[in-house]
Amino acid sequence: MNDASIPVCQAADPAPRSPGFAVPDGATDCHFHVFGPADRFPYTPNRTYTPPDQPAEAYRHLIDTLGVTRCVTIHPSVYGTDNAITEWLLQEAAGWSGIEMRGIAVLDAGIDDAALRRLDKLGVRGVRYNLLYKGGPPAEEIRAMAGRIAEMGWHIQFLVDVSSFDLATYADLPVEIVVDHMGHMDPTKGLEEPGFATLLDLLRGGRTWVKLSGAYRSTNLQQTPYTDVVPIARALARTAPERCVWGTDWPHPFAQIPMPNDGDLMDELAVWVPDEKQRNAILVGNPARLYGF
């Protein structure tokens, strides 16, 4: 596949609105990406999409608008296992006044121990396996990688559709697991869908976390509020509120519906978790434990 045949993403809304609820001090965005410039950070040819440049400065404007002061950059699939942009961003963020950042890497199985320790020092706290889009390492490498990162206290992060991927296969890993975007669960399948039921069981087990994020990926609606996703998010938060975290998923790569505004997306969290104390734990205390803020 040549670059011309790879679909180009929409850009994020450049004018985010402030959320309509009081955002607590230490609020954390547990899932965002930065893209480009492409001539400095080239994309892997084996990718599903091509994003427009979405620079660090635009993300900083976003979190200042939302009231977020802690954040976790997630290495995007379009870069394969070349973590140069993630390493650069973690170093760059060290100079951002009032902001703390951690990172999640995508790693080649051949990475040496010295490189792992260097990433840990930079603030990397986990390894992502994106099994929905091209560019990531294969699932066959998960167990070996989990064994290597366990001593550093890292976790394995999954981007999967829980209705077609058996998460229970990895319940015995020596590390905790984190599931992106509410398990990419199609709301039309209902809360009794076996894969979603497995996710809830794993959350009850105490070694699995889930991100209340990416509702625009699962919804069958065209704009916020994504009311069809509410039962899914509430079921997750009700089952294990102490192991839920939240993320913007900015700049919303490969969105298949009209681009939402990030203030509206953050307001969805107040609908999913109306209790302020519980919502503040999801925004502050839970990510502090998971990422070591």
The tokens of 96 are what? Answer: 């951002």
For residue 92, give the amino acid letter.
Answer: E
Q: Which residue has the tokens 């850009």?
A: 11
Sheet with 155-159: strands ordered across = 28-32, 70-74, 100-105, 124-130, 155-159, 177-179, 208-212, 244-246
**Which backbone phi and psi does 158 adopt, to 5 degrees?**
-110, 130
Task: Please say if 166 is a catalytic residue.
Answer: no
For residue 103, give the amino acid letter.
Answer: G
Q: What's the CA gap between 283 and 40, in Å, rounded?
A: 33
* Catalytic, out of 249, 264, 267, 275: 249
Pairing of strands 177-179, 28-32: unpaired
To the nearest 10 degrees (0 to 180), the angle between helices 56-66 and 84-93 is 50
CB-side exposure of 55: number of CA atoms within 13 Å? 6
Catalytic residues, by residue number, are 249
